[in-house]
Chains A and B, each alone.
Chain A
Amino acid sequence: MSCFDLTGVRSPGARSPGARPGIAVARWVLGAGIVLGTVVALTLPSGAADPDPVAVITRTRTASSQTTIAGTIEVEWVVDGHPRVERAGARADGSGFVVGRGDRRAVGEDGVRWSADAGESIEWGAAADAPLPAPDAAWDLDLGPSAEVAGRRALVVRARGDDGQVRARFFVDEVTDVLLRRDVLDRDGTVVRSVRFTHVLLAEGTPAVPTPPAPAPPMPADDAPRSFPAPDHLDPGFHLLGRYRHPDGAVQLFYADGLFTLSVFEQEGVVDWSGIPAGGVRGEVDGNRAHTFATASGTVVVWGADGAVLTAVSDAPPDTVAAALESVSASRGFLPRVADFVLGPFGWN
């Protein structure tokens, strides 16, 4: 029944006849405190309590391998303007994980990756490589409205390019930090590739993850041969993290920009075009014949130049890949004109 005059002017009817002066002072101080607290709360930035998007993405890098989780994953990508969808299962138990369907599976444990399809096991020497760039090294990150993915609440981190356009969205489980969905967008804001959980089960009783067979690590390439230029940086923001020589002699240059990755595989010789997958779009890079594909892995480009066969693979937006390949061309002394060609399979030309 007590009544506070928040303006400090005592109302004749607000105070009981028998109230003592000390109690009145206490009431006044309490009221002033409430006013002050309200003012402070209203003047603080509204997002002050929001999670840091960089920290959110950083936590996703290890969350899925440290969480007991099982679920169904859907990969959707666009070829010639038409969507393709493939599904696979995934489970992790904190020590390892398996992703795939039937005989086509990838098993991981620490730095070991085993492909059941290829029957190969590889231990990547990540510890010796350059560290992964920060998530915001090449992209501006912010938080969008939260969303729901596979029945779970998710924070949404958006990555924007220099033009301010959203080029990727990352949906992160609010409880486990597991990346539930990842969308890559083109310059027009259309999703060109999406990887997402459609069903999620978080429980201790998820099935065991198989142990990868003994690895056969690729021979590390301490330095690329002179015939294979290895620029330390590719536009717009890729950094060389490692270079590897595979058993077949191919040299892999591995780049990352903090959110996306790109590999350039280089082999000596000329392209035997009868051996590449059907489909794709034929074009030219540096005046040489080339093919580009939109795949579940992202963008794949094959071309030949200067006695080398080059294959680029990247999960980045297609125009970002095009910019990076222009750097590859420039590093080899060619006039880069690849952008329109790389964008071809996505139906933009």
Chain B
Amino acid sequence: MSERPLTEDLLSALLDDELDAATRVEVEARLAISADWQATLTELTETRTALRGLGAVDAPDEFWERVLASDDVVVDLAARHGRRHGRGRGHGRRRRVVALAGVAAAAVFAVGVVVFPTSTPDRVRPPVAAFSDAHASRSSVGTDAISTLASVGVSRFGR
């Protein structure tokens, strides 16, 4: 583990409680000495919390109009941002523009999630044990059947 780089995948696995005991100890040790990775872990945790807090939303009747309008706003705000920047407007104003743009982007994202949910690929649970048996079954045709199928007759994963 000492040679394995810390990754967001490992942090995700830590949050999902998917790490074995040894790896967990090592990941936590790496976290203890790295403020950057602690911040990353905090971000991951907050993101997960935020996402899990999202409920299903029915789009209101005027949703499309608002989305279209927000799209215009994005364009207008970006153009306006360039002009204002050129005129030396204040930093607080720019932050508001960026925030509005973020809201608009989130709205576009929401359209993808709420209006077009079918674009999400299906989550598949591969039947690993059944696949193992199917493989042994096919392998036993035309070759020594008993030794090839022995795995079907025992606990495949040793439990």
Q: In the bound complex, how far is the Cα of B146 from the Cα of A274, in angstroms?
A: 33
What is the size category of the interface that chain A forms with chain B?
A: 35 or more
In this complex, which of A117, A284, A295 has the most chain B Cβ atoms within 10 angstroms of its Cβ? A295
Residues of A within 8 A of B154 (CB): 75, 86-88, 100-101, 104, 296
Residues of A within 8 A of B118 (CB): none
Residues of A within 8 A of B18 (CB): 282
Residues of A within 8 A of B84 (CB): none
Determine which of A73, A101, A269 lies in contact with B146 in the assembled complex, contact meaning CB atoms within 8 Å. A73
Complex contact B124–A269 (CB within 8 A):
yes
Residue B47 at the chain A interface, CB threshold 8 Å: no
Residues of B within 8 A of A87 (CB): 154
Question: Measured between C-beta atoms, what is the minimum distance from B134 to chain A in Å?
Answer: 6
Q: In the bound complex, how far is the Cα of B152 from the Cα of A279, in angstroms?
A: 19
Residue B116 at the chain A interface, CB threshold 8 Å: no
Residue A238 at the chain B interface, CB threshold 8 Å: no
Total residues of chain B contacting the partner, CB 8 A: 41
Q: In the bound complex, how far is the Cα of B142 from the Cα of A122, in angstroms?
A: 15
How many pairs of residues, A versus B, come closer than 8 Å at their CB atoms? 194
Question: Measured between C-beta atoms, what is the minimum distance from B91 to chain A in Å?
Answer: 39
Complex contact A88–B144 (CB within 8 A):
no
Interface residues of B in 107-159 (CB under 8 A from A): 121-158
- Nearest opposing residue in chain B for A263, CB measure: B135
Complex contact A269–B155 (CB within 8 A):
no
Determine which of A108, A122, A269, A295 lies in contact with B149 in the assembled complex, contact meaning CB atoms within 8 Å. A108
Interface residues of chain A, those whose CB is within 8 Å of chain B, are 60-61, 63-65, 73, 75, 77, 79, 84, 86-90, 92, 97, 99-101, 104-106, 108, 111, 113, 115, 117-118, 122, 124, 126, 132, 178-179, 182, 195, 242, 244, 246, 248, 250, 252, 254, 256, 261-263, 265, 267-272, 274-277, 279, 282, 284, 289, 293, 295-298, 300, 302, 307, 309, 311, 313-315
